[in-house]
Structure 1
Amino acid sequence: MTAPLIALRGIVIREILRFVHQRSRFLGALVRPLIWLLVFAAGFRAALGVSIMPPYETYITYEVYILPGLVGMIQLFNGMQSSLSMVYDREMGSMRVLLTSPLPRWWLLTCKLLAGTVVSILQVYAFLLIARAFGIDTPGWGLLAVLPALVASGMMLGALGLLLSSVIKQLENFAGVMNFVVFPLFFCSSALYPLWKMRESSVLLYQICSINPFTHAVELIRHALYLQIAWQALGWTVVAAVIFMALAVIGYDPARGLMRRKAEA
């Protein structure tokens, strides 16, 4: 194996082992969307009816509608967890050692991104299996068809986490990021409510939701679960992933980003 592939294998295995050994992280990743699915959805079911809309061919329950949004929630919070682990590794020194290896920095960050995406996909499939056990079914082939969508959305949200980790200097600042980045991304999207309902209440809010990259990630997952391809959502998700990753690479560039700021400090 060449050195880049050895680095990729090592980083992916390290992230998977870290995930396996942190049982609380796995449970936390499942409890959060399950509460929304089994508790909040039950309360909102009567107040929020969902009409026929693509990719659905008939009226659906609210639980069915929010399932793709909760899948996106898992990947979003996994991306933020990866961001937190990057900040921690940087403070402890292990990330600095990794970045000083002879391999290109963009490749090391890509390996980290791929490893986080693999972990998020494992969490998603565990959640989908639990949701099926509670009677929330999707087309059988949808579980397989959604895999490419999960890769695209996971890489986009993971790249966002890498970008944030290049900006956050201390672990104490992570809570602020959660409040001002993660929650607006989630609530100003189509994860919990259809965009046409947003437009009925506020045109400005509808426009914000329409340009939110998390909205496109959720719609990509939603259509893939029903064996359809949302080309516009796919395009915006890929564009957002490329932009976030490019900014993250710049942020970790010793000449312009993180390491220079460290030296000046």
Structure 2
Amino acid sequence: MMDWLAALMAITQREALRFIGQRGRFAAALVRPMLWLVVFAAGFRAALGLSITPPYATYTTYEVYIVPGLCGMILLFNGMQSSLSMVYDREMGSMRLLLTSPLPRWWLLVCRLLASTAISILQVYVFLGLAALFGIRFSWGGYAALLPALVPAGLMLGALGLALSSVIRQLENFAGVMNFVIFPMFFLSTALYPLWKMAESSALLRDICAVNPFSQAVELIRFALYQQLNAAALAWVLLSGLVWLGLAVWGYDPARGLIRKAAKPG
């Protein structure tokens, strides 16, 4: 058990030092959602009306509505950033060296996942602090209740990044992942528009958004900010996270995944 905890502490410390050394990464993680909050939301405030839907007990402004989605955006993009660093570590050889540890491979991946999720949660709370400066505030109880929601949501999206990193062979292919995975996952969700608004445009789009695991993560965050539990969203998030983590462990199996691919000539 001490060896397992030592591995967790070592990997967490390594990720923390990498994060501290990459100040641009921290700034980019905050600039992106702040631009959406200040610029995008201001443009759509008058054009997009929102009805009273749970967890809101009254009419709400568009800026308030998209804050949970922007929190999800931070978790999603940081999960993909972790995926990118995994691909980099594999090309540099440090990832293969880590996987030669006598500890179970799944535990090493979980340690990496926990470390990246902790960094994502820190970024979310910093973003909420900046949003408060623009007048978008929640209750102290909401901020506290948010943490138990951010953990499974961050782990799920981080597990997705791990699964993707097991099949991405080169850093150059990461742009394709951004275009075909991250952006569709974000835009086809409830991060920017409620489901009833999507249904007005297309019933198919509404159904896609409803089953999108990222939508469920956003709704889990949204309800938590109002100290409510969305049990269905939590179940969907946990199930998706377990599936993606299983795929990541399978992908990093030497018999079929990362190491075998790395050994192929060319």
TM-score (norm 2): 0.98
Count residues in correspondence. 265
Match of 2:97?
97
Give the AA of the match of 1:146.
L
Aligned-partner Cα distance in 1 for 2:78–2:261: 27
The equivalent of 1:167 in structure 2 is 167
Structure 1, unaligned runs of 5 or more: none
Q: Residue type matched to 1:62 in 2?
A: Y
Q: What is residue 139 of structure 1 aligned with on the other side?
A: 139
Give the Cα–Cα distance (whole angstroms) in 2 for the partners of residues 185 and 38 of structure 1: 22
Matched residue of 1:177: which SS?
helix
Q: Which residue of 1 aligns with 2:118?
A: 118
- Quote the residue 1:52 is aligned against: 52
RMSD across aligned C-alpha pairs, in angstroms?
0.7
Tell me, yes or no, if the aligned pair for 2:75 and 2:154 is still in contact at 8 Å: yes
1:213 and 1:179 map into 2 onto residues whose CA distance is: 18
Distance 1:50 1:233 in 2: 21
Alpha-carbon distance, 1:20 to partner: 1.2
1:150-184 alpha-carbon deviations (Å, 9 max, x no partner)? 00000000000000000100000000000000000
How far has the Cα of 1:139 moved from its partner? 1.6
How far apart are residue 262 of structure 1 and its match?
2.1
Displacement of 1:263 after TM fit?
2.2
Question: For structure 2, which runs of at least 5 residues remain unmatched after alignment?
Answer: none
Counterpart residue identity of residue 63, structure 1? E
Q: Counterparts of 1:130 and 1:73 in 2: how far apart (Å)?
A: 15
Output the amino acid matched with 1:236.
Answer: W
Deviation at 1:137, TM superposition (A): 1.0
In structure 1, the residue matched to 2:234 is 234
Shift of 1:17: 1.4
Distance 1:27 1:258 in 2: 31
Is the 2:12–2:112 contact (alpha carbons within 8 Å) kept by the matching residues of 1? yes
TM-score, reference length from structure 1: 0.99
**Identity, % of aligned positions:** 69
1:72 Cα shift? 0.1
Contact kept in structure 1, 2:96 and 2:259, CA below 8 Å: no
C-alpha displacement at 1:218, in angstroms? 0.1
CA shift, 1:89, in A, is: 0.4
Report the 3-state secondary structure (helix = DSSP H, G, I; strand = E; otherwise coil) of the residue aligned with 2:53: coil
CA deviation vs aligned residue, 1:3-29 (integer Å, no higher than 9, x gap): 000000111111111111111000000
Deviation at 1:94, TM superposition (A): 0.8
Deviation per residue, 1:98-153 (Å, 9 max, x gap): 01111100000000000000000010000000001110011221111000100000
Q: What's the counterpart of residue 217 of structure 1?
A: 217
